[in-house]
Amino acid sequence: MSTSMIGVVCIAVMLLLIVLRAPIALTMALAGFVGFGWIVAFDPAISILASGPFETLSNYSFSPIPMFILMGVFASKSGMSQELFQGARAMFGSWRGGMALAAVTSCAIFSAISGSSMATAASMSRVALPEMEKNGYAPTLATGVLAAGGTLGIMIPPSIALLLYALITEQSVGAMFMAGVIPGLLGLVMYGLTVAVLVIVFPNIAQPGKATTLKEKFLGLKGLVPFTGVFVFIIGGIYSGWFTPTEASAVGAAATLLIALVRGMRFEQFKDAVGETLVMSAMIFFMIIGAEIFGYFLSVSRISFSLVEYVDSLHLGPYMILLCVLILFMVLGCVMDSIAMLLLTVPVVYPLIEAAGFDPIWFGIVAVITVELGLITPPVGMNVFVIKSVAPHISIGDMYKGVMPFVIADLLRLALIVAFPILAIGLV
């Protein structure tokens, strides 16, 4: 059996195990170990299994991950997310659907110091969902806007997904973060327009809010200032060269901790924040270790090169190749965690994209937007399940119904960025 065929067999078995709900990190490590041992020998495979975790965990490049998670958790535990939502709510006053616009705006701003879609969705749902329900919002709109708004955490920098893509493909982390700014803001605008269209077409799904004076709007800005300040400081510092993305993560975490302490965070909340960060970081690093072992197997199986040669023999155009890759991402995104999907698929398809002549920074943005779709698309949609845990009384069917208009908005955004690459690479 050829090495490429061994690669196909191992990947097929791995996907089968994932469908059967085996832990994704474990299946990647197992497929990598067995495949490498099958092609090379099991003694070197055991050596990789022994040294791989240490090499991954001691890699300085991965250190921003826990720092970016810690930033978001500090903001959530200290009550900053509550002030953020109330501030955004004051901005939109008595508009019909204004509370939904406040929710999606809050998600976007919270994303600027969170880096995690699920953390954004969970934090803002606890704050905004009870308020929207109390004010007569339909469950479909209330949950749909929060699930979709949470996906902005994977795009608006600092983003763990963009960071991992940059490390996997050996691109500049700073360049990836800058490339995510315009697509992230475009996502916010398109979600806002989606809310506006929905409340016009279906006026009964949202009620007008309480009118706010100009003074109240101005005072509401204080809830937005800490988040905006940290975001501008991090991105401005990276862009101007004051510090590297790794240093920026530490500076951002320290700044968020300082704000949280000033706002009254106590030791118990600090301890909970650190514990939650450790759990989330351990989960991500376990997947990275699995992907690292799987990567050794991919290199010796040469399956990526065989895939490039096979696609080349089909004489497909570059955009047809891109379409096939994005369809693969969408299908896998429906059943897999976003981080795991990036770690699993990017090493396989990146040589194909590179051979097709696409800009790697631009493709990273396109890939992450496609991953975003998976976070809110049935039959899984991780953000939908996060909100279900916050609101068990709302049916999962209503939640999926609520996110579908935002899925359409994301597809339109994806089409715009494919048609006009300058939207992704204009700031790089």
Distance CA 149, CA 125 (A): 10
pLDDT digits (tens, 9 = 90+) for 177-218: 889 989 999 999 999 999 999 999 998 888 777 777 777 777
Report the chain's C-alpha Rg in angstroms. 22
Using DSSP, state whether 93 is helix, strand or coil.
Answer: coil
DSSP per-residue letters across 390-420: H-TTS-HHHHHHHHHHHHHHHHHHHHHHHH-
Find the DSSP H helices in 211-317: 214-220, 225-240, 245-262, 267-301, 303-314
DSSP states of 148-202 as a string?
HHHGGGGTSSS-HHHHHHHHHHT--HHHHHHHTHHHHHHHHHHHHHHHHHHHHH-
Among candidate residues 322, 56, 61, the one with its CA nearest the CA of residue 172: 61
pLDDT in tens, 45-96: 888 888 878 887 887 778 888 888 888 788 777 777 777 787 788 777 677 8
How far is 42 from 85, CA to CA, in rounded Å? 55
- d(CA 69, CA 115) in angstroms, rounded, equals 7
Please name the residue that has the structure tokens 């990598």: 32
Q: Which residues of 132-161 are buried (b: 16+ CB within 10 A; e: fewer)?
A: bbebebbbbbbbbbbbbbbbbbbbbbbbbb
- Note if the pTM is more than 0.85: no
Distance of CA 394 to the CA centre of its chain: 24
Tokens describing residue 169:
């493909």
From first to last of the 428 residues of the chain, give the pLDDT tens digit. Answer: 778 788 888 888 888 887 787 888 888 889 889 988 888 888 888 888 888 788 878 877 788 888 888 887 887 777 777 777 877 887 776 778 888 888 888 888 887 777 677 778 877 888 888 888 888 889 999 899 998 888 887 888 878 888 889 988 888 888 898 899 899 999 999 999 999 999 999 988 887 777 777 777 777 677 677 777 887 888 788 777 788 888 888 888 888 888 888 877 888 888 888 888 888 888 888 888 888 888 888 778 877 777 777 777 878 888 988 988 888 888 777 667 777 778 888 888 888 888 888 999 999 999 989 888 877 887 667 788 888 888 888 888 888 899 999 999 999 999 999 999 999 988 87
